[in-house]
Structure 1
Amino acid sequence: MTPIMSKSAAAVFVTAARIRGGHSWAELAAAMDAPLVWATAALLGRHALSAQQAEIICELLALDDSVAEALRQQPTRTADPAIMSDPTVYRFVEAINVYGPTLKELIHEEFGDGIMSAINFQMDISRRPDPDGDRVVVTFDGKFLDYRW
């Protein structure tokens, strides 16, 4: 029996096929009828696709069933030190290191004792023109979960 391909290996195949085929992440998300950020994360191995979504993507990218099988598997969501040191990713780490305590205080002041869910969660990214250079706008939209005793 052949082992199931890892989600990280499947992500490599998806990325290569996307680039070589001239497809955008937005096109793949639309084909799956899924939000752009979620779909991109899923295709990079951070979420599980449904059987139908995996079939659509593999057909569009001409990938075989072993990739579809991997895309359907539940992920292990851990931090990869190599990814954490990427300059783009690290800017988010830096922002959380600087503003994390502030966000915590402001969330508690506004909502009470609790957290923002990263499970019941949506995220969006957009561009905002600015005379000093375009701005990246990232929106985190998570359900508030209060601590209950």
Structure 2
Amino acid sequence: MEASGEKAAVVRRLMEAKEVSGKTFSGIAAETGLTNVYVAQLLRRQAQLKADTVPALRAALPTLTDDLIELMMQPPFRSYHPNIVHEPAIYRLNEAVMHFGESIKEIINEEFGDGIMSAIDFYCSVDKVEGADGKDRVVVTFDGKYLPYTEQKSEHMMSRPTRKTS
């Protein structure tokens, strides 16, 4: 597990590589074939860099050192500072999910059945579009695999020994 101070130091170095490049998360995403949010997750040590993505990321951020690449390829300790929820943009995202969550859940149930959206087999992106009124709008896309809840039949539970009943 990465200590929070260690992780913060690595994140600073990764963000410096981005800053030196002069590129945005979306620009790096376009060069690497990743989503802009996933690029940000990589640079914040919230996602693991896969070997086949290394060449494209090195090309996009040439100042990344071998030791940083090596660290990025290790499974990260996915965490966040508890005070981050007070940051206005993050607070509003939480507020939107809480406000619309019950309705979204009901629509998922209507469209798919009893289940949830995976946050593991998941894609996320942020896009800027022009609204009907000509003003900038933020589009946040959550694209997660549907996972149905299962009926827990004991015969399907592989960890239990076969029992004989009398």
TM range (shorter): 0.7 to 0.9
User: Is the CA contact 2:118–2:147 (under 8 Å) kept in the aligned structure 1?
Assistant: yes
In the other structure, the counterpart of 2:146 is: 144
RMSD, aligned α-carbons:
2.5
Stretches of structure 1 lacking an aligned partner (at least 5 in a row) = none
Q: Which moved more, 1:27-36 or 1:84-93?
A: 27-36
What is the alpha-carbon distance in structure 2 between the residues aligned to residue 144 and residue 57 of structure 1?
30
Residue identity (%): 36
- Asked if structure 2 preserves the Cα contact closer than 8 Å seen for 1:120 and 1:143, the reply is yes
CA contact (8 A) 1:115 1:145 kept: yes
Aligned to 1:46: 46
Q: Would you say the 8 A contact 2:31–2:56 is kept in 1?
A: yes
Amino acid at match of 1:88: A
Task: Report SS of the residue matched to 1:148.
Answer: coil
**Once the 2 structures are TM-superposed, how far is the Cα of residue 51 of structure 1 from its aligned partner?**
3.4
The answer as to whether partners of 1:7 and 1:73 remain within 8 angstroms in 2 is no
What is aligned with 1:37?
37
Contact 1:47 1:74 in 2 (8 A): yes
Partner of 2:105: 104
TM-score (norm 2): 0.74
**TM-score where L is the length of structure 1:** 0.81
Q: How far apart, CA to CA, are the structure 2 residues paired with 1:104 and 1:66?
A: 43
CA distance in 2, matches of 1:27, 1:50: 19
Unaligned runs of 5+ in 2: 152-166
Q: Is 1:15 paired with 2:54?
A: no
Larger Rg: 2
